[in-house]
Amino acid sequence: MRLGILGVALGLIGMAAPVVAHHGFDTEYDAKKRVKLAGTVTEVAWTNPHMRVYIDVAGPDGKVTNWNMELTSPNSIRRQGWGPNDLKKGDKVVFEGFGGLVVESRGSLMYIAKAETPDKPLFTQGGPDGQQAPLPTP
Amino acid sequence: MRRLSIIAITVVGVAGVVYAQGRGGGNQGVQTDGGVRYINPGSPTVSDAEATSRPIPRLPDGRVDLTGPWIGGGSNGDIERDGGLKPGELPLLPWARELRDKRLAKDEPYTACLPMSVPRVNPYPWKFAMSYTSRGLSHIYVLHETGDAGAHRVVYMDGRKHPPKDEWVPNWWGHSIGHWEGDTLVIDTVGYNDKFWFDSRGTPHTEQLHTIERWTRISWGRMVNEFTLDDPGAFSKPVTLKFTARLLRPDPETGIGDLMEFICLEDNQYGRAGGLQGIGSGTSNQR
């Protein structure tokens, strides 16, 4: 039941999603590869065409993988009020997203929050449904 | 499990807020909760409720001010759907329909940061920059925040005609001449190349493409683009699509709504998560 609620929540995130994307979801990411991880930010890249957050994640065997999580364009994010002080190298975070079709650690970021406040997202973004959504109409 | 539920409920709330924002909600696209900002991708625009709250502005010469910046007036995903047609109504010739259906997203030019051209570029922030000289309005430069690969589109307003067809050198934005019909800006364009896709669905065209855009600011916050597409090489008849642009919401802190820098080739990693090689030219290839 609770998982059901989470599912509804994530579905709504899909509705809320980004109405304009640089490219489609399916050519890069796998909707079946949902990930929910915790780690340490190694870089917040305010780059075009899309921002990326790089996060070191330790696996069960202690091996560290640097996840490369894609957001949307930095301009869109700046217009929504996010700035360079909102997330920095060294921050401990929890995040969710979808893994890459072939390179799993190149992911699409859906949700990220500081580890100490996991229920307060810094960023939310849609998954495959959201990125295919039509443009808003008046 | 309790924490999962809390997260779920929180996320539902956030999703609702963000959904409203995506539709032009009135909270300027930023929601705070304990100082933490929730972000939804896409740029905020003036809401429906505010769209008619101010008069349509005019320039010093009395012309309606179409400057913007705007978001919308075209379609990134599907010109048939977003242009107001029913599925299958876009009058593509059989070869063009077949090509559209077999095109793969990985092959589309825009993912290599090439121009989107008309009307696909419009869903991203853009503006009409009026260029006045001693002879009045001589050119309109159409500036796009993204989707133009650093190019600028020129609309000649000085009364010139299109060059003779045998002198065309087909290019991404074609040759555009404009004139006013009342408060409507009419832009007539020929000389396009056939390289760009009309939408991510892969809708094609040929170098015979001729477009007529009729831009009318219907309120402070909205502008309509009646887009007539005539391409006997790929379509069985001309078709008119209708799109609506929304005024970009001014920045909540600075009060300024303006275009920002966007250099698509800076770190284009498109395709690498899916195992594609040789696409983009980013600096992070090895990661």
Is residue A117 within 8 angstroms of chain B, CB to CB? yes
**Cα-based angle B5, B7, B8 (whole degrees, multiple of 5):** 60
| A26 band by pLDDT with thresholds 50, 70 and 90 | confident
Comparing B47 with B223, the larger pLDDT belongs to B223
Residue B101's SS3 state is helix
CB contact under 8 A, B284 and A52: yes
CB contact under 8 A, A81 and B39: yes
- Say which range, A95-99, B252-256, B263-267, has the weakest mean pLDDT: B252-256
Chain A to chain B Cβ contacts (< 8 Å)? 236
For residue A19, pLDDT over 90 is answered with no
Q: Which of A96, A89, A91 is nearest to A69 (CA)?
A: A96
- Give this complex's ipTM: 0.75
Which amino acid, B202?
G
Q: Which residues of B touch A20 (CB under 8 A)?
A: 41-42, 76, 123-124
For residue B284, pLDDT over 50 is answered with no
Residue B63 tokens read as 């012309």
For residue A22, pLDDT over 80 is answered with no
| B248 band by pLDDT with thresholds 50, 70 and 90 | very high
Residue A43's SS3 state is strand
| A108 located within any domain | yes
**Which residue in A16, A78, A102 is closest to B274 by CB distance?**
A102
Residue of A nearest to B104 (CA): A27
For residue A35, pLDDT over 90 is answered with yes
Is residue A21 within 8 angstroms of chain B, CB to CB? yes
Q: What is the CATH number of the domain that holds A55?
A: 2.40.50.140
Is residue B156 within 8 angstroms of chain A, CB to CB? no
Asked if residues B235 and B80 have their Cβ atoms less than 8 Å apart, the reply is: no
For residue B13, pLDDT over 90 is answered with no
- Tell me the residues of chain A between 74 and 113 that have a Cβ less than 8 Å away from chain B: 75-82, 86, 99-103, 106-108, 111, 113
Residue B228 tokens read as 């007539």
CB contact under 8 A, B76 and A121: no
Is residue B1 within 8 angstroms of chain A, CB to CB? yes
Per-residue DSSP letter, B48: H
So what's the pLDDT on residue A93?
97
Domain count, chain A: 1
Question: Which of A1-10, A117-126, B116-125, B153-162 reaches the highest mean pLDDT?
Answer: B153-162
Render B62-82 in DSSP notation, one character per residue. S-B-----EEESS-SS-HHHH
For residue A10, pLDDT over 60 is answered with no
Q: Which of B154, B141, B213, B160 is nearest to B184 (CA)?
A: B213
Question: Which of A19-33, A54-68, B141-155 reaches the highest mean pLDDT?
Answer: A54-68
Distance of CA B227 to the CA centre of its chain: 13
Is residue B125 within 8 angstroms of chain A, CB to CB? yes
Instruction: Kindly list the distances between the CA atom of residue A47 and the CA atoms of A85, B25, B235, B284, in Å, as whole numbers in the listed order.
Output: 16, 28, 39, 11
- Say which range, A27-31, B31-35, B221-225, has the weakest mean pLDDT: B31-35
Which amino acid, A69?
M
Name the average pLDDT for chain B.
83
CB contact under 8 A, A23 and B287: no
- CB-based contacts of B194: which residues, under 8 Å, 6+ apart? B170, B204, B205, B206, B207, B209
- List, for residues B171-200, the tens digit of each pLDDT value: 999 999 999 999 999 999 999 999 999 999
- Tell me the residues of chain B between 179 and 218 that have a Cβ less than 8 Å away from chain A: 200
- Say which range, A23-32, B154-163, B266-275, has the weakest mean pLDDT: A23-32
**Cα-based angle A136, A131, B17 (whole degrees, multiple of 5):** 55
Among B4, B40, B143, B272, the residue to mutate for chain A (most A Cβ within 10 A): B40
For residue B203, pLDDT over 90 is answered with yes
For residue A134, pLDDT over 60 is answered with no
For residue B25, pLDDT over 80 is answered with no
| A137 located within any domain | no
| A135 located within any domain | no
CB contact under 8 A, A106 and B264: no
Is residue B22 within 8 angstroms of chain A, CB to CB? yes
Is residue A121 within 8 angstroms of chain B, CB to CB? yes
Asked if residues A35 and A97 have their Cβ atoms less than 8 Å apart, the reply is: yes
| A131 located within any domain | no
Boundaries of domain holding A104: 2-126
So what's the pLDDT on residue B106?
80
| B255 band by pLDDT with thresholds 50, 70 and 90 | low
Q: Which residues of B touch A80 (CB under 8 A)?
A: 29-30, 37, 39-41, 43-44
So what's the pLDDT on residue B239?
98
Tell me the average pLDDT across A36-64: 96
So what's the pLDDT on residue A28?
87
pTM: 0.80
Asked if residues A16 and B12 have their Cβ atoms less than 8 Å apart, the reply is: no
CB contact under 8 A, A122 and B51: no
Residue found by looking up tokens 């005019």 in the block: B58
Tell me the average pLDDT across B66-71: 95
- List, for residues B88-124, the tens digit of each pLDDT value: 999 999 999 999 999 988 888 988 899 999 999 999 8
Tell me the average pLDDT across B49-77: 94
For residue A135, pLDDT over 60 is answered with no
State how far the Cα of A56 lies from the Cα of A28, in Å rounded to an integer. Answer: 21
CB contact under 8 A, A73 and B7: no
Residue B16's SS3 state is helix
So what's the pLDDT on residue B42?
63
- What is the dihedral sign for C-alpha B121, B127, B128, B132? negative
Tell me the average pLDDT across B13-25: 31
